[in-house]
Amino acid sequence: LPPGAAHISKIVSSGFGFNACPTSMDGSRKKVLAARELFIKFGATCITPLALDATKCVDPDCNMSIQQLLDLAATEGDSNLKKIKKFPQESFDRILLDPPCSALGLRPKLFIECASLHELQKHATYQQKFAKNAAKLLRVGGTMSYSTCTINPEENEAMVRYILDEYPSLKSIPIGSDIGLPGLEGAGLTEEVRHNVRRFEPHGDCDTMGFFIALFRKVESHQPTTKLSQSGT
């Protein structure tokens, strides 16, 4: 990694984190503490785990670097977690966006929590909030991956379409691997973008759980074109 590069390893349920700046974030304090133990076990001492809400983690008025924020941040009681809840815009070179999803690709799948199409659509609407913050935090020239462990097109191909439409500064780029399948036809993606993303089916030849990956590069600073969608499509 280039000196001083700032990376977010994961934006999940409600959070982030990395220093050097790798940062691993999650809204669940319990998960963050468990992740920290895992980092220590594997000697990943460069990673800074943070408990924060990744749907509300952008501070447009902050002009400090990530390293400055980490150096100056106080810690939380016995947990010793740094008390950082927001970051300046365009301060990260790499973002791995892995938001909460319907998890329909997991196997074995012993039960389905979503009882209706409306409940499935709510996942996509929630994911848009994570995408909004990630798009703002990513530097021009930086890359952002988007991934889920579901086979639901509303949370996969439709989310890629949403990101490209809502944030023209983000462009779809190839992942660089032919493993898996291209995106679904008829789900709103051009042929080029459909072959840039990778879809894995739980019943496919790769013998994996179902999941989805897309990769974006930020080519310029840009503001959203519309208000946050209520439908998720």
Question: Annotated active-site positions, please?
Answer: 149
Place of tokens 């982030």: 16
Residue 177 belongs to what H/E stretch?
none
**Residues facing residue 214 across a β-bridge:** 146
Three-state DSSP at 92 gives strand
3-state DSSP assignment of residue 155: helix
Helix (H, G, I), strand (E, B) or coil at 142: strand
The identity of residue 25, as a single letter, is M
Torsion-angle region of 104 (φ positive above 0: left; ψ -120 to 50: alpha; else: beta): alpha
Bridge partners of 88, per DSSP, are: 59
| Cα maximum dimension of the chain | 52
